[in-house]
């Protein structure tokens, strides 16, 4: 029998984008924009993906970075305030093993013509499959991809 364990952790990522809160929010709410910076940013094969961005809506994705390992992400959106806040809960599996369950909040705060994004994740990391530092690094990478998407769109987006 596999030894079971859980590590609880909270981390916060602060990031300032040269875009209004409305533009940053649109990068989450617009499925085509989100597809570019979140779903396909690593060029991993996507086995299936659905995105229903609304309160009570769900996101489901199955990815395979190497064609063998299957990563599953299941997200439910619990609170959405346009241009201000997104609250979600999500679970991650690798090859059928639940590796984590998290609650995450994205806050969008205006700073002049820019936006401060504050991402707070509170997670339960299970059975040693994932560690908080690895998850935080992955999230930081995603928010760098978001910066690239906003830059690509330009001020007219």
- Summarised one tens digit per residue, pLDDT across range 11-26 is 999 999 999 999 999 9
Residue 1 has pLDDT above 90, yes or no: no
Range of weakest confidence among 41-55, 56-70, 103-117 = 41-55
> How would you classify the pairing of strands 71-81 and 58-63?
antiparallel
Q: 53, 77 in Cβ contact below 8 A?
A: yes
Q: Mind listing the pLDDT tens digit for each residue in 23-53?
A: 999 999 999 989 888 876 566 677 788 999 9
Q: 79, 70 in Cβ contact below 8 A?
A: no
Round to whole Å and give the CA distance between 157 and 55.
Answer: 24
> Whole-model pTM?
0.91
What does each C-alpha distance from 126 to 5, 40, 113, 134, 143 come to in angstroms? 6, 26, 41, 13, 24
Assign domain 6-153 to a CATH class. alpha beta
Residues present in the chain in total: 157
Nearest to 88 by CA among 128, 112, 49, 59: 59
118's enclosing H/E stretch is strand 114-126
Alpha helix (H) residue ranges in 82-129: none
Q: 110, 20 in Cβ contact below 8 A?
A: yes
Round to whole Å and give the CA distance between 118 and 13.
Answer: 6
Q: 77, 71 in Cβ contact below 8 A?
A: no
Residue 143 has pLDDT above 50, yes or no: yes
């Amino acid at each position: 029998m596999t030894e079971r364990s859980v590590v609880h952790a909270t981390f916060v990522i602060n990031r300032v984008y040269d875009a209004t809160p409305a533009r940053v929010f649109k990068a989450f709410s617009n499925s085509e924009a989100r597809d570019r910076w979140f779903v396909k940013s690593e060029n991993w094969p996507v086995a299936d993906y659905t995105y229903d961005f609304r309160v009570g809506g769900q996101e489901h994705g199955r990815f395979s970075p190497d064609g063998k390992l299957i990563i599953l992400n299941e997200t439910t959106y619990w609170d959405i305030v346009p241009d201000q806040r997104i609250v979600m809960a999500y679970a991650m599996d690798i090859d059928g093993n639940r590796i984590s369950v998290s609650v995450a909040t994205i806050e969008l705060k205006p700073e002049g013509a820019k936006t401060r994004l504050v991402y707070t994740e509170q997670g339960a990391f299970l059975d040693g499959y994932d560690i908080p530092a690895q998850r935080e690094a992955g999230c930081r990478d995603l928010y760098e991809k978001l910066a690239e998407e906003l830059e690509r769109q330009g001020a007219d987006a």
